[in-house]
Structure 1
Amino acid sequence: MSTNALIPSHRKPRRSASSRALRAGVTGGFLTLAVTGATVPANAAEKPVAETQEMPTITTALATSAARSADTAEQVAFNYERQALQDSAFTKAAKAAEKHKAEAVKKAKAEAKKKAEEARKAKEAAQARASRSDERTTLSAPASASTGTGSTATLVAFLKAQLGKAYVLGASGPSSYDCSGLTQAAFSQIGIDLPRVSQDQSTAGTQVGLDNLQVGDILYWGSAGSAYHVGVYVGNGNFIGAQNPSTGIVERPLSYDMPTGAVRVL
């Protein structure tokens, strides 16, 4: 046996191995790895690891750029959210202002309408007072002599012409009268338009005392404004009136039935 038979050989055994290369790269900001392999003959010399493995690293500049991009995106999102909140608040404020304006306009119109109505009523009341005053003035003033009206003689003549005619409640001539119908018809002969009923005739002119009567004064029984009977003073202490259904139209002295008061319209 050879002396070298038991000595292990220092030669590396032959083997078939697959050489694999690990490659890394950055694509679109992401780290990618690629492993490639090839079968090489067993007797091929193995290359150092440094020649078969490449491991590039992410640079500081790349990381900073990515961080800035994320910050920018976050800031943009924040700005959009803040703008949306501002727009919402502005819309609400605008709607509230518009509602307030509409209510103010409505209130102003109502106030103006109320004042206009009050002014209209005040004007109508003033016109009514003026009309009543003019009416009293007309009744109190003598009629124009140029027209031949206002003559007490004409008034008395008409009243005497009615003596003996019937008293009928509500009648105003020409064949029958009640008390206020007779006085109204008599004064219409001289152009004076008296109210129809005795209550109104008792306040149609100026109140005068019974001790200061003149021809043509209207006599009334009861209180002014609520008189129940009227007649006309014709002088010499006498009056003419439609007394009642029993007597009809008569001429009587004041002592026959003393009146309560008198008004002057001539």
Structure 2
Amino acid sequence: MSHTAHIPSHRKPRRSASKLSLRAGVAGGVLSTIAVAGAAGPANAEPVTETIEMPTLNADLSADLSSAVAASAEATQQIALDQELQAQEDAAAAKAAKEAKTAKAEAERKAEAEEARRKAEAKAQAEAAERASRSSERTTLSASVGSDDGGSSYDSGQATGSAAAIVAFARAQVGDAYVMGSTGPNSWDCSGLVQAAYRQAGIELPRVSGDQSSRGTSVSLDNLQPGDILYWGSRSNSYHVAIYVGGGMFVGAQNPGTGVVERSLDYDMPSGAVRVL
């Protein structure tokens, strides 16, 4: 056995490569300084034989570096959080602005629709009042023919009962518009007006003019009575109808240009007439 076998080793533990590099750098700098100083000194100066202990990285320096790295990472993370929060706030503000714009547009649309509804309602009320006024003014029907009729041979007599209701309704619609296929209350075609007028007397007529002119019995144009249905064309195949209202006059929804009018038979002489009452 070696005589040194029980003597503990005095070797120091190996240092890491990074620490050795740092110590070597420091040592190199110190030795360079000493060399320069020696070169600058007198030629007969004695050589330096003192051993210089090199500084070492202690635990405090390592802790400081770790703290600095951690602080930098925390600062970077805080910046990222601040940027994310700002982006969320910007998105929320943009969404709120968009919703406010949409709500404003919807409110304006509803206001316009309400204004249009009020105007339409006011117009309908005015038209109803006008028709009521016309109806009240025309409840008494004239039956005179004589000289006021220009010598006409039509003898209509006084409208009474169901005929009076038919005539009054027809005259109350004078001034309304003509619209093909319309049955009221503010626009009519010829057969739609006749059908609605007869409904006032409790009589339900067919919808179209050809079928209406086929009802009842035929009467000559010189023996008309208020409420008779006038037709143009051939019976059962007529293309236009109107209501005789007495005094040589008729009421009919003529065309889009005139609307519902009251005219003399001479204005447009009918082909024939039928009596349903």
TM over 0.5: no
Q: TM-score, normalised by structure 1?
A: 0.45
Q: Which structure has the highest helix share of the two?
A: 2
Q: As a proportion of its length, which structure holds more strand?
A: 1
Point out the structure with max Rg over C-alpha: 1
Using the size of structure 2 for normalisation, the TM-score is 0.43
Structure of greater relative contact order (alpha carbons < 8 Å, 6+ residues apart)? 2
